[in-house]
Amino acid sequence: MSVPSTGRARPPAPARGRRHPLYLRAAGSLAAALALTATAGVPGAAATADTGAPAAAPASAGAAGLREVMFVGNNWDGTADVIESTGDFARIGRINVIPDKDRRLKEIYLNPVRLAFFLGIRQGPGEGHDQFVDDMYSTPDGSAVVVSRPSFADVVSIDLATGEINWRFPVSGYRSDHMAVSPDGTRVAVSASTSNTVHVLDIGTGEQVGSFKTGDKPHENVFTDGGKFLWNMSIGEVNTALDAPSMDWTKGDRRITVVDAKTFEQVKVIDMRERLDAFGRKDLSDAVRPVAFTPDESKLYFQVSFFNGFLEYDVPSDTITRAKTLPKNPATSEDRTTWVNDSRHHGMSMSPDGDKLCVAGTMDDYATIVDRATLQEGPPVTASKPYWATVSGDGRSCVISESGADQVTAIDFATGRKVASVPVGDHPQRVRIGHVPAGWTGPAAG
């Protein structure tokens, strides 16, 4: 497959008069992580909506009066759009996830240390913008959505009826990041990326039920094996300009940490550096980015920093078994320091039957469906800085967030063709399946 050149290094920004030059990088800026999809299994685990079949809804979520939707986090807006989870993916409503913005900013500007980190996040992972929403999950009863807010270093629960904050949990350190919800919907895990900590909270009250330490810059969190285990992928320092392969050692301690989800005791550590070297790919980074597991969780597919492709990891044998290099866009600069947070391709999901992978080629401006058996890619679907990939509610489509075009796009797993695009807010990143009350169109005004 050849990727069509756009004839320019970057597509133009949508006409809103508000976007800084894309891919702004600040050498030496404060670290953080970026978007990743994950679902993983320690010996045996249950796939979630973002990495395989849509997650089984908690019992209460299947009750009458709830509607399945997709939440789209508009990172730079501080909003979350709610769209249909299937069909035409039409927008249903919008939530302001920073109703306390003025109060939070006052606190930050009165604290020199917090201010320094706040501005560092803006110039580093935020590409010149504040990061107001990274990840989000709805509660089992569909009454609230829980959101991690990187620039405010917290997690909040937003009441879907009123738009008001139910509870707020400040994370340790100065930045919150990716989350994961337990299979029963009662707990939510969040990465505190500057303190190398994962907090696990009661989704209803916001109270911490446990925590554990990770490698440098914890990122994606994944409950596995029906909630028995919790995996964390730490991606290390992604905001310096030390991006040459010879300087990879400066990126820090990057590893997968697996803990018991009840006791939070460490069960296993997976260092992909050792596995990559044994596979003969010493040239690749060991920073695990988005992942996708097969339905039986015997295989893990994962992206790494700087690589236009992905790798296959066999869980039972603890070895990397295959690597797939995907096409480059000839219009994409080969200067690695221009790639957003060390990403080249960023975003993966898997069809519910486990036969197809959906891959977002972030810096190459396309997405493609890949046959898992042969690793043969399908036709490229042109997309502007695709940042995430998940699975539609009916399992038929891969849904990607086009952060450079402020829209989400659905791609049919069977044909590899685009089926719909829907406008959303400023810089969409994470997309998650969730629930709202039937008939909901947005929080009540006032």
> Is the confidence at residue 26, as pLDDT, over 50?
no
- Whether 26 maps to a domain, the answer reads no
> Is the confidence at residue 444, as pLDDT, over 90?
no
CA-based angle 181:424:126, to the nearest 5? 70
Count Cβ atoms within 10 A of the Cβ of residue 260 and give its class: 0-12 exposed, 13-18 middle, 19 or more buried: middle
- Whether 5 maps to a domain, the answer reads no
- Residue 242, pLDDT score: 86
Q: What is the pTM of this model?
A: 0.84
Q: Structure tokens of 21?
A: 């030059």
CATH number at residue 208: 2.130.10.10
> Is the confidence at residue 34, as pLDDT, over 70?
no
- Whether 152 maps to a domain, the answer reads yes
Measured CA to CA, the distance from residue 348 to residue 364 in angstroms comes to: 15
For residues 43-51, give the mean pLDDT. 36
- Residue 63, pLDDT score: 52
The phi, psi pair for 176, rounded to 5°, reads -100, 160
Q: Structure tokens of 257?
A: 């940490």
> Is the confidence at residue 219, as pLDDT, over 90?
yes
Residue 58 pLDDT class (50, 70, 90 cuts): very low
For residues 190-219, give the mean pLDDT. 97
- Residue 87, pLDDT score: 95
Q: What percent of the chain has pLDDT over 90?
A: 77
**Which of the 8 DSSP states describes residue 276?**
H
- Whether 12 maps to a domain, the answer reads no
End-to-end CA distance of the chain: give it in Å, rounded: 52
**Lowest mean pLDDT, pick from 47-56, 341-350, 411-420:** 47-56
Q: Please tell me whether residue 272 adopts helix, strand or coil conformation.
A: helix
> Is the confidence at residue 340, as pLDDT, over 70?
yes
Residue 40 pLDDT class (50, 70, 90 cuts): very low
- Whether 14 maps to a domain, the answer reads no
- Whether 13 maps to a domain, the answer reads no
- Whether 433 maps to a domain, the answer reads yes
Measured CA to CA, the distance from residue 376 to residue 370 in angstroms comes to: 6
| Parent domain of 287 | 59-437
| Number of folded domains that form the chain | 1
- Whether 383 maps to a domain, the answer reads yes
> Is the confidence at residue 123, as pLDDT, over 90?
no
